[in-house]
Structure formats: structure tokens, C-alpha cells
């Protein structure tokens, strides 16, 4: 769908990250990361430097607490995580040791500690941990600002469209309080924490907009988050068109929330299930707003990040999640390339193709068994509600190995007098092309499968989604992805194995329609995406969905699919 002026030199293009329209003045900020040089202190200064660190930490914790009170949305969990990082005992130990034992100044001790953690995350091969890098960068800079007494902050007028290199979640929340209406970032990905918060706060957002700071200057502009374009100095007629669109959009948002209570059935009467993807316990209380009674993907890597991996800590977390919803909870096993955050991760040339997911877990037996024991203990108390999802499956032997470990732990729990669920569901992530092509054999030994379209896209198109130079090639709606999804759906249907999709494609309106047309009726997504997906799925017949799915398979390009979708919706 072509927008006015979309091809002119006054249009900056990027990747759509959060839909919506913003009209306002552009403010450009080139936020370079701060560097701190080593500085030695005298032994007599140790206590004052330690006290300076504690004061800075208390200040930042208070700031984050204010943001939590302000947000009151599912994205508050991201701010809660930043708070936990600030008070993390490992960070305090390292900063204190650098000050006491190496006689380093407080600012450099903080700088080096955070830089060490950031480097470790870069090597992890985990999407979740990669997303945390900007969180740590922001916290590092904020610590140093407070320590050094630099309290300067960006002041904007209400209605501002911000153009910047990148933005942290806390900075975005602060700017939203001041009236930010739109965000354009030269860096960042569509799954970054800043983007997730932008989505939950209904802030239109575009990422990977090349040279946007240089080109945007300080002009009036229109930001189209859905199309991924920033139109500079729009003409009068063009401005009127977008003002009309903005009014219609606000009406639509009200209607979406009203429709959320409607039955989840297509126009043909076919039922579907829309579940939520979550990571934090604090997200649970917002699921009712979107009528999400099931959790289709519980990411557990946050426990590794916060070093809460004991059997007792895991069990407590899992039980809290189960108490928070009435339906099923799908627990994805740790999907990261290392046994814990504060251990040195292995150096790998390409961690995304290396020792991660189930490959790592089968080597780290204690970690795997501890997690399975905690999950299976909770399953015994919540029969029929717990599902176990294995990440990064590439060969059938990995499925069999995990099932053997599950059976052994089930036997041990039963012998010790612990109640178990003998029929706990075991599934696998289909995110490697080889697994999609071998899906029938995998499905025959599984209770369910869940397609992770994020990694499936990365591996199928050979595109590192964290690499901004080639991010335009990261296309989840590409015809080749649809062909692999269809092959997986047909394999699951053939052996009568449940199939879901928990990747970003499921929370995209186009994606959800194509998936439904391929017979996939179980979709899991970020909770705030449920209203728009539901409205689309209740608005068409099964035959119409099938017709669109056929288009996705036969199309030559992603652009062709997008254009066909707009035409399909109209007719």
C-alpha cells in the first residue's frame, strides 16, 4: 500500500515496529554512549566511594519505582527487571571489590562492571540476553550520571516525534510522561524492550531508519508506524489525509478493546485460541485486560539472568505463574548459550548456530534436571495445565533424550511420594528449517509443537536479526517461511499432533490470517496484540483465510504478500 510522498527524498524509511500515526515536530538526539577512564583513589577514600555507589543505587531504584507506578501496563515488567539489575548482589560485589581491592574510583568501578556483563551478553547467542544489552548500557550511563552529578535530561514539548540512535525503556517511559508522540531509531530491532514498551503505550515507532538524525533536522513531520516511514514537511493536503487517519485510528482502538469479550470464533464458527507470551510474573495481572486465559510461551531465561536457578526459587516462580491464570501454561526450557549469567560463557564464532538451547541443556545435566524437577513438581499440583517446550530442536535424538530425562525424574518424584502428572505434555520448538522439514517424525513422538517464527526466519533466510546492516532481509512474511510453516502444519495434522505458533508472526494481523488459513488455530503473542488479531480473525470465513494462505505460498516476494493482504481485507 503506497502512502503519499512515500518515494520522495523527504521520506525516511525504516522497519515498522509499533503501529500508529504521529503528527508533530521532530527533535533529533545523537545519544553517544559515555566512556569513563580509569582513576585511582587513596585508601582513605574507599568508604566515601562505596557510599557514593549506594546513594546512586538508591536514587535509581527510586526513579524506577516512580516509573512502575506510572506505567501500570504489561511493560512494567521490563522496568521491574531493570530495578532487579540495579540491586543485583553480583553487581554490588564486583563494584565493591573494584573499589576496596583495586582502589578504583566509583564511576570507573561501575563502568567496568557493567561493560563486563554487556560483553558476556553479546557472546550468549540468546535473543533475550541480546535485548538486555541496551538495558545495561542505559543503567551504566544513568549510574555514572548520578555519581558524577550530571542530571541533564532531554526536555521535549508534548507531541514531539523523537529521532535518535537508540533509546532505553526507562528513557522512553520518561519521555512518554512528557508527551512524546512518536519514535524513530536508527538502531534497534522489532523485539527490543524499547519497542515492546512503545507498543504497550501506543507510541508509533520505526527502527533501523538509516541516517535519520542527519536527514530529519528539526522539521515538522508525520510518522506512519505501520508503514515504517517518516514524512518530513508534509504538504497541506497530505497533512489533512493523515489527520483524518489519526482520528479513525483512535476510534478503532476503542472498538478493539470492546471486541475482546466476543467469542473466539471465525465467521464460519471455527474456534481459535489466542494465548499470551510472557516473561515476568508481574505481566500476569494484565492478561485479563486482553482476555488471555492461557500462557502459550513462558520464557524462563529471566531466572538465569537474575541467577535464580535453585529448585526452590524456580518452583516458587512457576507456582506463582500457574496461580495467575486459569488455563494452561507452556514452560519453555532455558534457551541460552551458557549455564548461568555470572559464569564465563564459551567463546564461539557464531553463538546463534552453536551451544545453545537444548544442546547446552543436555550437556549441563544438573541445570536441565533441576528445571525439569521444578516444572514437574508444579505439574503434579496442576494436572493438565503444564506443558513443557524444548527449544532449538534440530534432530529427533534430542527429543528422545529429553523424554528419557523427564521419565526418570517423574519416577524419582513418584517414588519419593510427590504427586505427578503422568500425562504432562511435552513439545518442541520448530525454529530450525531441518526440524520443519522433519516435522512428521518429530510430531509422532511429541504431544505438541510450537513454531518459533523469529528464529525460523533467521535460520531460513540466513539473516542475523541483530545485524542492522541486513535487517531489511529479516522478513517473517517471506514466502519461504510460509512454505516451511505449511509443511509443519500438514505434518502435525497427519499424525494428529497439536500445533501452535508463538513467534512474532502470530501477533501480526497479516501473519495470523495466513496461519489460520493453513489450519493453525492456536496462536500465542504479546498480550497487547490480542485485540487487533482477534478482530481480524472473527471478521472472515474459513474459506477466505484459506484463499489468503494460498496467496502467501504462491507469492514471489514479501511485498507481493503485503499488497495482496490489503486487497484481500478490502474485498
Q: Is position 4 within any domain?
A: no
Look at residue 190 in the predicted model and tell me its pLDDT.
Answer: 66
Could you write out the DSSP letters of every residue in 17-78?
Answer: EE--EEEEEEEEE--PPP-----B--GGGHHHHHHHHHHHHHHHHHHHHHHHHHH-STTHHH
Q: Are residues 123 and 174 in the same domain?
A: no
Strands 329-332, 273-278: pairing is unpaired
Same structural domain, 170 and 126: no
Phi and psi, residue 409, nearest 5°: -70, -40
- Model confidence over 477-493: pLDDT tens digits? 999 999 999 999 999 99
Q: At which of 219, 235, 256 does a domain end? A: 256
Which pLDDT belongs to residue 339?
31
47 in a structural domain: yes
47 and 24 share one domain: no
CATH label of the domain that carries residue 22: 3.50.30.10
368 assigned to some structural domain? yes
Domain count, the chain: 3
pTM confidence score:
0.73
pLDDT of residue 197: 79
Residues 459 and 514 in one domain: yes
The C-alpha atoms of residue 395 and residue 236 are separated, in whole angstroms, by 59
Structure confidence at residue 550 (pLDDT)? 97
Four-residue CA torsion sign, 556, 558, 563, 567: positive
Residue 118 lies in a domain: yes
CATH number at residue 436: 3.20.20.60
Residues 87 and 163 in one domain: no
Q: How far is Cα 471 from Cα 473, in angstroms, rounded to an integer?
A: 5
Contact status, residue 169 vs residue 76, Cβ threshold 8 Å: no
Share the mean pLDDT of the chain. Answer: 87
180 and 223 assigned to the same domain: yes
Instruction: Please tell me the distance from the alpha carbon of residue 236 to that of residue 224, in angstroms, as a whole number.
Output: 17
The answer to whether residue 3 is domain-embedded is no
Query: Which of 228, 256, 284 represents a domain boundary (last residue)?
Result: 256
Q: What is the DSSP letter of 228?
A: T
* Confidence check: pLDDT of 150 > 50: yes
Does residue 96 register a pLDDT over 80? yes
How many whole angstroms separate alpha carbon 46 and alpha carbon 201?
43
Domain contains 5: no
Residues 299, 424 within the same domain:
yes
Q: Are residues 104 and 235 in the same domain?
A: no
Contact between residue 351 and residue 125 where contact means Cβ atoms under 8 Å apart: yes
- Residues 419, 528: one domain? yes
In whole angstroms, give the CA distance from residue 386 to residue 425. Answer: 7
The domain that holds 87 is classified in CATH as 1.10.274.10
Does 71 score more than 90 pLDDT? no
Q: What is the mean pLDDT of residues 532-561?
A: 96
- Whether 241 is in a domain gets the answer yes
Q: Is 202 left (phi over 0), alpha (psi -120 to 50) or beta?
A: left
Where is 244: in which H helix or E strand?
helix 236-259
Q: Indicate whether 229 and 283 sit together in one domain.
A: no
Residue 307 and residue 250 in one domain: no
Chain segment 256-312, per-residue pLDDT in tens? 877 788 899 999 999 999 999 988 787 887 788 888 999 999 999 888 877 788 999
End position of a domain, from candidates 201, 221, 256: 256
Same domain, 304 and 209: no
Look up the domain containing 60 and give its range: 43-148
Segment holding 196, helix H or strand E: helix 193-200
Please state, for a pLDDT cut of 70, what percent of the chain lies above it.
89
In percent, the amount of the chain with pLDDT more than 90 equals 57
Amino acid at each position: 500500500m503506497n502512502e503519499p510522498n512515500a518515494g520522495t527524498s523527504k521520506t525516511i524509511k525504516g522497519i515498522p515496529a509499533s503501529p500508529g500515526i504521529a503528527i508533530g515536530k521532530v527533535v533529533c538526539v545523537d545519544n553517544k554512549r559515555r566512556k569513563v577512564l580509569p582513576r585511582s583513589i587513596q585508601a582513605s577514600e574507599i568508604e566515601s566511594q562505596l557510599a557514593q555507589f549506594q546513594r546512586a543505587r538508591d536514587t535509581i531504584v527510586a526513579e524506577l519505582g516512580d516509573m512502575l507506578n506510572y506505567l501500570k501496563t504489561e511493560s512494567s515488567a521490563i522496568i521491574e527487571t531493570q530495578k532487579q539489575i540495579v540491586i543485583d548482589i553480583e553487581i554490588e560485589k564486583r563494584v565493591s571489590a573494584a573499589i576496596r581491592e583495586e582502589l578504583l574510583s566509583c564511576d570507573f568501578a561501575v563502568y567496568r562492571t557493567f561493560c563486563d556483563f554487556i560483553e558476556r551478553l553479546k557472546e550468549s547467542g540468546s535473543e533475550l540476553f541480546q535485548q538486555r544489552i541496551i538495558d545495561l548500557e542505559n543503567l551504566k550511563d544513568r549510574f555514572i550520571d548520578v555519581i558524577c552529578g550530571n542530571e541533564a535530561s532531554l526536555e521535549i514539548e508534548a507531541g514531539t516525534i523523537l529521532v535518535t540512535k537508540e533509546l532505553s525503556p526507562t528513557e522512553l517511559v520518561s519521555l512518554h510522561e512528557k508527551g512524546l508522540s512518536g519514535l524513530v531509531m536508527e538502531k534497534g530491532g522489532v523485539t527490543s524492550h524499547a519497542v515492546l514498551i512503545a507498543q504497550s503505550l501506543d507510541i508509533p515507532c520505526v527502527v533501523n531508519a538509516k541516517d535519520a538524525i542527519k536527514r530529519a533536522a528539526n522539521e515538522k513531520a508525520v510518522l506512519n508506524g505501520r508503514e515504517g516511514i517518516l514524512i518530513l514537511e508534509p504538504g497541506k493536503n497530505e497533512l489533512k489525509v493523515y489527520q483524518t487517519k489519526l482520528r479513525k485510528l483512535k476510534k478503532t482502538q476503542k472498538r478493539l478493546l470492546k471486541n475482546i469479550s466476543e467469542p473466539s470464533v471465525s465467521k464460519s464458527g471455527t474456534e481459535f485460541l489466542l494465548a499470551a507470551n510472557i516473561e515476568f510474573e508481574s505481566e500476569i495481572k494484565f492478561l485479563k485486560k486482553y482476555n488471555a486465559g492461557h500462557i502459550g510461551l513462558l520464557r524462563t531465561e529471566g531466572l538465569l539472568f537474575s541467577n535464580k536457578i535453585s529448585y526452590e526459587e524456580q518452583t516458587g516462580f512457576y507456582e506463582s505463574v500457574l496461580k495467575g491464570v486459569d488455563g494452561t501454561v507452556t514452560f519453555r526450557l532455558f534457551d541460552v548459550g551458557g549455564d548461568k549469567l555470572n559464569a564465563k560463557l564459551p567463546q564461539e564464532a557464531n553463538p546463534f548456530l552453536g551451544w545453545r538451547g537444548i544442546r547446552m541443556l543436555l550437556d549441563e545435566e544438573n541445570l536441565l534436571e533441576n528445571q525439569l524437577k521444578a516444572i514437574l513438581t508444579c505439574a503434579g499440583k496442576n494436572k493438565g495445565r503444564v506443558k513443557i517446550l524444548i527449544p532449538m530442536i534440530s534432530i529427533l535424538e534430542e527429543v528422545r533424550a529429553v523424554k528419557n530425562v523427564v521419565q526418570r525424574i517423574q519416577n524419582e518424584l513418584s517414588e519419593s511420594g510427590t504427586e505427578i502428572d503422568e500425562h504432562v505434555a511435552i513439545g518442541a520448538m520448530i525454529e530450525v528449517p531441518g526440524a520443519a522439514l522433519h516435522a512428521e517424525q518429530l510430531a509422532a513422538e511429541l504431544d505438541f509443537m510450537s513454531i518459533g517464527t523469529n528464529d525460523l526466519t533467521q535460520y531460513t533466510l540466513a539473516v542475523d536479526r541483530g545485524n542492522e546492516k541486513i535487517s531489511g532481509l529479516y522478513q517473517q512474511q517471506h514466502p519461504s517461511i510460509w512454505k516451511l510453516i505449511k509443511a509443519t502444519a500438514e505434518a502435525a495434522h497427519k499424525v494428529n499432533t497439536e500445533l501452535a505458533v508463538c513467534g512474532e508472526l502470530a501477533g501480526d494481523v497479516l501473519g495470523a490470517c495466513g496461519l489460520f488459513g493453513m489450519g493453525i488455530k492456536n496462536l500465542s503473542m504479546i498480550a497487547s496484540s490480542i485485540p487487533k488479531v482477534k478482530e481480524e480473525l472473527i471478521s472472515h470465513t474459513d474459506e477466505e483465510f484459506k484463499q489468503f494462505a494460498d496467496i502467501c505460498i504462491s507469492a514471489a516476494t514479501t511485498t507481493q504478500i503485503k499488497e495482496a493482504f490489503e486487497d484481500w481485507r478490502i474485498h
